[in-house]
Structure 1
Amino acid sequence: MRHLLAQHSCIPTRRRCLLLEVISKEHYMKPFGEREKLFPTLLKIKIIFSLKFVCLNLNLSDCPPLGLESLKVSDDQLESSSYLSVGLGPHRGRLNIQSGLEDDDEYDGAWCAGVEDQEQWLQLNALRPTLFTGVILQGRNSIWSLNWVRTYKVQFSNDSSVWQPCMNGSEEAVFVGNEDLETPVLALFPEPSVAQYIRINPQTWFSNGTICLRAEVLGCPVPDPDNPHFSETESGSSDDLDFRHHNYNEMRKLMKSVNDECPNITRIYTIGRSYTGLKLYVMEISDNPGKHELGEPEFRYVAGMHGNEVLGRELLLNLMQYICREYNRGNQRVIQLVKDTRIHLLPSMNPDGYEAAYEKGSELSGWALGRYSFEGIDMNHNFPDLNNIMWDAQEMAMDKRRVSNHYIPMPEYYTSTEALVAPETRAVISWMQDIPFVLSANLHGGELVVTYPFDCTRDWIPRQDTPTADNDFFRWLATVYASANLVMANPERRICHSEDFQQHNNIINGADWHTVPGSMNDFSYLHTNCFEITVELSCDKFPHASELPIEWENNKESLLLYMEQVHRGIKGVIRDKDTRAGIANAVIKVDGLGHDIRSAVDGDFWHLLNPGEYKITVWAEGYFPRIRHCSVGSEPRATICDFTLTKTSQDRLKQILASGGKIPRDNQVRIRAMRMRKLRQRGETGGRGGAPS
């Protein structure tokens, strides 16, 4: 986050060494009052735990969220005085948790007390000594109810029996809560305290509602030398990467540093600008950067379409660092990937939205700030809706086979300067059209699931399984990422909000989750050759910087393994039989599959396919079609399936005449015979026996 507490000065931000004295086990078990006589209050820190001379060199404003939002805090660690229903239990009192479609179901949008009085509380067991420094509060997520807490108190305990209030001088502190449902409100404690338990105790609430809240707790874990389970530092990543949130300028500097470190395999370029003029930077990684190599597939990752879903941005910055360094270290897997693939990484499609969310910080930006472009456009609904153009044409056609199922042109209204299209969207569309991408993934946040096209339902209903012709391969792609993701693959994990995707193995057809007309995935599939999925990376849209190392470990193998899938299926070059030149825009049709692809400018093509035997037909304007049978194996290595096409007689004749050549004798005979047949069909021979002059 952007230094979550940077705008709050009630806690000094200079580094401090807090010396926590140790006393005997007997003293440790004493009640609060007696124990406090033995502990001096050091720098206004209430010492509730007794530890062995532990020096904490920390900045109190750096204490991170304990993880209610990120689910690092388990449901078992949360308790409450009462709750209104099972769906409003303490396990739902998590910052930014989203409710189901209906109130009072199993997945409601907050913890709500079952009794309306000032004795109600939500309690967190941190499981270890923790320096608690603050609380963030939010109202109930609901479109039907208005419930939030206006003021509250906080208490601490070591044993959950004896409680000590958070004090503001000589008085018990009362903190200001919320005035709406969604805005997170931060309160820092005047006297941070070391304890194991913390309670949030509502005092007043919205008069027309009831006691409901979502919360996050800030705190620094305190190392306990008596308990080896709690070390000073928590596990993260062994990779030496820049694990922090990067604003626009910091992102540029990091990308430049990667390019400087690996100039032989990297290139930075831009595809356009945001509404406010920020450049959309792309990192290219290839053994021959800046050039499309014949037969080498093009791959892309796109992140930050929604500016507040920031994990994808940081993962792509981590990925470019990782590939660069592992390539230099001689990692054969990475070297092979760079040698055989041209990789493009766009870490921030919506830099304007990101800057807005970054300015507020990871826990204070809420659920929606920064999602939209500067103009207020949701870019994942901003691409041309080609689905319904295709489906409408199919319904009207007598022969559906004659309806184009690929390279569907954009509608005229969309290309108009009056169309409400974000400049970022137009830039990405031009990028898609300029480079023959084969495979892509669009990185999002706020859930843990991988979705695959179609994203839009055919009948305009809220959700319905709407598969593409390549449904089996899309399911494979989604499974590859989900199965290698350490969190998605964990059968013990809890759901993020209200959808249990584990019953689908953490993959789902996009339209079967919720319909999204004008999605980038559907446009990519219907307008270009590129197959694209969406990866929802984390329950928390804007995880704290302290979570980034473990999130990298959660996703590293998935990111690499998914890129390697670009080498599945068949690939080849379509050439002119006579000139040996590549034929652009040739159609590659797989028998029994209702979605074709086309060759690139140089005649090369790639068709992602599952293992099996396939009948492939290739045709191009002015050429006779050609059929081949190609076999696809299970290993991630594309089968070479080249084609040579012969021009039709008429096009061959045009080619010869255009080059100033003479018509060969055999062609002259064939042309005369064709003319004779036409004349006879018209009944115009008039009894003449000879060939026409």
Structure 2
Amino acid sequence: VDGGLREDGLTPRCLIRGPFDPSVSLSLSACPPLGLESLRVDDSQMRASSYERTGLGPHRGRLNIQSGLEDGDLYDGAWCAAARDRDQWLEVDALRPTLFTGVVLQGRSSIWSWDWVESYKLQLSNDSETWWTVLDGGREAVFEGNRNPETPVLGLLPVPTVARFIRINPQTWFSNGTVCLRAEVLGCRVPDPDDVDASDPDPGSKDVLDFRHHDYSEMRKLMRSVADQCPDITRVYSIGRSFRGRKLYVMEISDQPGTHQLGEPEFRYVAGMHGNEVLGRELLLNLMQYLCREFRAGNRRVVRLVTETRIHLLPSMNPDGYEEAYSKGSELAGWADGRYSAEGIDLNHNFPDLNNIMWDAQENLGDPRRTANHYIPIPEYYTQEDATVAPETRAVISWMQDVPFVLSANLHGGELVVSYPFDCTRGWTPQEATPTADDAFFRWLASSYASTHLVMADPARRLCHYEDFQVHNNIINGGAWHTVPGSMNDFSYLHTNCFEVTVELSCDKFPHASELPAEWENNKESLLVYMEQVHRGIKGVVRDKTTKRGIADAVIRVEDHDHDIRSAADGDYWRLLNPGQYRVRALAPGYLPSARRCSVDTEPRPTVCDFTLTKTPVQRLKELRAGGAGGAGGAGGARVPQDLQLRLRALRLREPIREQGSAVSWSDVSRVFWTGVPLDRSSSNKDCGSFKVKV
């Protein structure tokens, strides 16, 4: 049978073995992986001639599978044969006739052992009893294997061949190691008249979306296309550039794009922080297409979400890393190629470590109530020109400071779990649960995504690598998993009003394009449900009693919650809370505090809790002496322009912590928190490294 094209453009001739109708035409272009890495291939479909122990059994011979810190458990990082000879094999049952086109091989994942296969043969069968060896010009083909444990190597069959079973038969291996490998098998499913399940469709999606991988250029085109289709609810903007000069594009979706509406919460999704974890990037591109299409179609759920929420989607925080991974492809990028920025920086460890600033301040002052629990300033060392801070990180920080985000999630890959702050452990222990003051609500947020994810919520699913997150209902405190100082989650919580979690979307960091429709279905409901959580809790406006104008930077304090938030430039605020009764206070410099009780229901609709503050007598006297009888907004004075309020608010966020030698001035930290007065007002131009705000 002739048909189809190889990736090199040549037309191969297929060798048909076993019961197969040769009259069927085939499309042989770019056959996808069977799914060893993505777990579409079940453990029961994998056998081996022998294995050293259970933790090195055939079910562990999956491309990019990771080992735990210790070898010798049930979850090691490869299939390893019990003997070092050429009679060993790893077998995969494709379950139906398959046009096998290639194999991707990798060595063993281990920090203690170096093992890989340097050459191998391939054998095929239709019944797992009678086998034939793949030939090359009449001789048994010998395929080149690995030269290190991590770099995947592709071996293409000289002639794509139809069979049901395939065996990898190692011939040589690293001289100081043993027979160990991880693999993926490439092949196209072909029709079989004897297979009663042959007509079953592959898992996919009914949504008509652009399911493929998009490089930087294609991503820009798609975002422009969505903006053109829905100009009334979309806006594409850039928050900065990567080290290589690529723009960090954001898609805004709102009924009034470009405008913050009083009382409307701001939400963001961030993907591609690690460039090789590409599923989040494609999901956000799918999401913007879906929201546009469904809004135009009148989908009530989507219309409500778009009209009541200002949504920001950043599909690629690390476009340089993505391009590196994309250039190699889904099966050949390995576990880490493209993870880091072009400068070699892990962006999820690159944010200011505010956790230890807060904890050290609490220890130095002895009373947590006297130290800042929110809006903690960025330390001065972080803003220096020679600081190891990626331009991508600086751009995202400025974005966080400019927009009053309420809720966010950053999308990763390589696992199936949702982690929540704190990510950094107290005392630098490798693993220790380190809860925030809002631990109960963070658990709810994480569960809202995990419980609606089709794979995470499946109790029969296989674990990805070596940790069983199902015992935690697929959510975990970041510190309890592994400590991550300088994470986006922790920075977002301690420096801004925004609550943020990390979503590990799939076992496969870089799924093949053929798997994207199924991954969209796995995550679609979760993406929507999580966005809807931005409307839980309380919201309101803090106003001046006399002028009725909003008060910016008013502190919103919930009793028995040691984490405050602040009002935005127009005086509006949003405080995420679980259902219950709360005593809430509003405080602002120059005003008498105000308190009230607020009730939060179980429905995802916010309770409105407005506050009206009265100026203190001292403040009124100051204004009278200044000649403004009506105050800053009264008849005798002038209101501070909104753009200046925004700049002042941004300045407070950007104000660095001054250092004296190696010791931080904790009194300054507390003074900024309690009074809102910047640390240094001696200059009209505040220069904090790359963060400049002209007052």
**Common fold: TM-score over 0.5:** yes
Task: Give the secondary structure class of the aligned counterpart of 1:217.
Answer: strand
Task: Give the secondary structure class of the aligned counterpart of 2:388.
Answer: coil
Partner of 1:677 in structure 2? none
Contact 1:13 1:59 in 2 (8 A): no
Contact 2:104 2:154 in 1 (8 A): yes
Partner of 2:409 in structure 1? 441
Partner of 1:229 in structure 2? 197
1:118-129 alignment, distance < 5 Å: 118-129=86-97
Aligned counterparts of 1:230 and 1:322: Cα–Cα separation in 2:
31
Aligned counterparts of 1:443 and 1:662: Cα–Cα separation in 2:
50
Paired AA for residue 19 in structure 2: S
Aligned counterparts of 1:229 and 1:189: Cα–Cα separation in 2:
27
1:353 aligned onto 2:351: no
1:232, distance to aligned residue in structure 2 (A): 7.4
1:49 aligned onto 2:45: no
Change over 3 Å in CA distance of 1:203–1:389 after alignment to 2: same
1:13 aligned onto 2:12: no
Change over 3 Å in CA distance of 1:572–1:112 after alignment to 2: same
Partner of 1:250 in structure 2? 218
Paired AA for residue 421 in structure 1: V
Change over 3 Å in CA distance of 1:88–1:660 after alignment to 2: closer
Paired AA for residue 327 in structure 1: F
Partner of 1:59 in structure 2? 28
Partner of 2:495 in structure 1? 527
Partner of 2:244 in structure 1? 276
Aligned counterparts of 1:337 and 1:281: Cα–Cα separation in 2:
22
Paired AA for residue 13 in structure 1: G
Aligned counterparts of 1:655 and 1:583: Cα–Cα separation in 2:
16
1:658, distance to aligned residue in structure 2 (A): 3.5
Aligned counterparts of 1:508 and 1:54: Cα–Cα separation in 2:
53
Partner of 1:173 in structure 2? 141
Partner of 2:542 in structure 1? 574
Gaps of 5+ in 1: 1-8, 17-42, 664-693
Change over 3 Å in CA distance of 1:662–1:51 after alignment to 2: closer
Moved more, 387-396 or 222-231: 222-231
Contact 2:67 2:110 in 1 (8 A): yes
Contact 2:6 2:28 in 1 (8 A): no
Contact 2:554 2:566 in 1 (8 A): yes
Partner of 1:94 in structure 2? 62
Partner of 1:653 in structure 2? 621
**For 1:609, which of 565, 571, 577 is the aligned residue?**
577
Contact 1:259 1:268 in 2 (8 A): yes
RMSD: 1.3
Aligned counterparts of 1:53 and 1:259: Cα–Cα separation in 2:
47
Deviations 1:567-604 (A, max 9, x none): 00000000000011100011000000110101001000
1:659, distance to aligned residue in structure 2 (A): 4.7
1:586 aligned onto 2:554: yes
Aligned counterparts of 2:623 and 2:563: Cα–Cα separation in 1:
31
Aligned counterparts of 1:430 and 1:662: Cα–Cα separation in 2:
35
1:662, distance to aligned residue in structure 2 (A): 8.8
Aligned counterparts of 1:201 and 1:298: Cα–Cα separation in 2:
55
Deviations 1:41-99 (A, max 9, x none): xx531101323355334234x10010000001010000000001110000000000000
Task: Give the secondary structure class of the aligned counterpart of 1:650.
Answer: helix
1:417, distance to aligned residue in structure 2 (A): 1.0
1:364 aligned onto 2:360: no
1:230, distance to aligned residue in structure 2 (A): 1.9
Task: Give the secondary structure class of the aligned counterpart of 2:18.
Answer: coil
Partner of 1:30 in structure 2? none
Paired AA for residue 21 in structure 2: K
Moved more, 221-230 or 241-250: 221-230
Gaps of 5+ in 2: 632-695
Contact 1:54 1:223 in 2 (8 A): no
Deviations 1:438-476 (A, max 9, x none): 000000000000000000000111100000000000000
Paired AA for residue 629 in structure 2: G
Aligned counterparts of 1:142 and 1:278: Cα–Cα separation in 2:
35
Change over 3 Å in CA distance of 1:295–1:354 after alignment to 2: same
Contact 2:170 2:179 in 1 (8 A): yes
1:404-553 alignment, distance < 5 Å: 404-553=372-521
Partner of 2:661 in structure 1? none
Aligned counterparts of 1:233 and 1:220: Cα–Cα separation in 2:
14
**Identity percentage over the alignment?**
71
Contact 1:153 1:166 in 2 (8 A): yes
Contact 1:96 1:367 in 2 (8 A): yes
Partner of 2:99 in structure 1? 131
Partner of 2:160 in structure 1? 192
Contact 2:28 2:188 in 1 (8 A): no
Higher gyration radius (CA) = 1
Aligned counterparts of 2:497 and 2:23: Cα–Cα separation in 1:
60
Partner of 1:555 in structure 2? 523
Q: Runs ≥4 in structure 1, deviation > 4 angstroms?
A: 9-12
Q: TM-score, normalised by structure 1?
A: 0.89
Paired AA for residue 198 in structure 1: I
Aligned counterparts of 1:525 and 1:627: Cα–Cα separation in 2:
24
Contact 1:575 1:603 in 2 (8 A): yes
Change over 3 Å in CA distance of 1:155–1:470 after alignment to 2: same
Partner of 1:397 in structure 2? 365
Partner of 2:42 in structure 1? 74
Aligned counterparts of 2:309 and 2:601: Cα–Cα separation in 1:
19
1:551, distance to aligned residue in structure 2 (A): 0.1
Paired AA for residue 422 in structure 2: F
1:608, distance to aligned residue in structure 2 (A): 0.2
Contact 2:419 2:475 in 1 (8 A): yes
**For 2:600, which of 629, 632, 635 is the aligned residue?**
632
Change over 3 Å in CA distance of 1:163–1:296 after alignment to 2: same
Partner of 2:643 in structure 1? none
Aligned residue pair count: 627
Deviations 1:181-207 (A, max 9, x none): 100000000022111100000000011
Deviations 1:218-265 (A, max 9, x none): 000112233231237512000000000000000000000000000000
